[in-house]
Chain A
Amino acid sequence: MTPSRTTAISPEADVKVMFVAYLVFIVGGLTYLFTIGFLQR
């Protein structure tokens, strides 16, 4: 089967989604922790 454009790109895109998801989780998590700390002072 000839690889389609989608099958050639998707694995890379999937890994990028994982990278962004972790980044967003950590940055979002840190923002949340700072916000709680500052609001409850």
Chain B
Amino acid sequence: MSVRKALRESSLSWFFGLILVLTLIGQAYSGLAEYNSSVTMNDLPILSIGEYVTSSQFAVDVAENWQSEYLQFLLYIVLTVWLVQRGSPESKQVDETGGEDDKKQQIGRHASPESPRWARAGGWRTALYSNSLGIIMGLFFLGSWGAQLVAGTSAYNSERLQNLLAPLSMPEYALSSNFWNRTLQNWQSEFLAVGSMVVFSIYLRQRGSPESKPVGAPHAETGSEG
């Protein structure tokens, strides 16, 4: 397979991988500029880019955004098993809530020779594989929320020490307004975006997008992709 064909067939993953790296670099430099401008005002030493990207300030800023994105996808993946929205292409049919039967899910004896091996295996392997997408998103959510807590404790304590205040323990930081402000300001924006997507996609269209219904599909049509 040619490189061009390989790039085209995974263009979505390549594009997001590329803009991820670029925006992370952008965040590092803009975060450094902001940090250095604030420490200059307080007559504290400025950081190099290397020092900044290995600082807890940078780590907590990255982690707090990662956790909210993974929470968003975790909830979306898992809740759409049971919750529906009539007319939304993001929803399954309103009378099909739940895990669905083995035949529809092509597992166990209903699996085809092309099905993933663990879909055919039955038992715990099929049960685990049946929930693997939600599980991995859940693990990444908990992992990045934990990283936010660890790095956030350190970053917050360095601010407190600069102001001659006693540092907090990690459990104390987990109950602090700083931790929950960082957390909830990210969560609310994810929930708004997901809710908007669910509702707006009932009446609005994006021609050719699998996230939209076909342009001519009726507003009441649920779960179809353009």
Contact = CB atoms under 8 A, between A and B. Distances in A.
Answer whether A and B are interacting partners. Answer: yes
Interface of A: 6-7, 10-11, 14-15, 18, 21-22, 25-26, 29-30, 32-34, 36-38, 40-41
Interface in B42-67: 54-56, 58-60, 62-63, 66
Contact of B150 (A6, A11, A29, A38): A38
A4 to B, nearest CB: 10
Contact of B147 (A14, A34, A40): A34
Contacts of A6: 1
B154 A41 contact: yes
Interface string B142-180: 011011011111100110000000000000000000000
B9 interface: yes
20 contacts: A6-B1, A10-B6, A11-B1, A11-B9, A14-B9, A15-B10, A18-B13, A30-B66, A30-B140, A30-B147, A33-B62, A34-B147, A36-B55, A36-B58, A37-B59, A37-B150, A37-B153, A40-B151, A41-B153, A41-B154
Contact of A37 (B10, B13, B17, B56): B56
Given A15-B10, A18-B13, A41-B153, A30 B144 contact: yes
Contacts of A40: 55-56, 151, 154, 158
Nearest to B142: A30
Contacts, number: 67
Interface of B: 1, 6, 9-10, 13-14, 17, 54-56, 58-60, 62-63, 66, 140, 143-144, 146-147, 149-154, 157-158
Nearest to A30: B143
A14 B59 contact: no
B1 A10 contact: yes
Contacts of B9: 11, 14-15
Contacts of B149: 37
A20 to B, nearest CB: 11
A30 B56 CA distance: 13
A21 B151 CA distance: 25
A40 B151 CA distance: 8
Given A33-B63, A34-B150, A37-B154, 16 more contacts: A11-B1, A14-B10, A18-B10, A22-B13, A29-B62, A29-B66, A30-B143, A30-B144, A33-B59, A33-B147, A36-B59, A37-B151, A37-B152, A40-B151, A40-B158, A41-B153
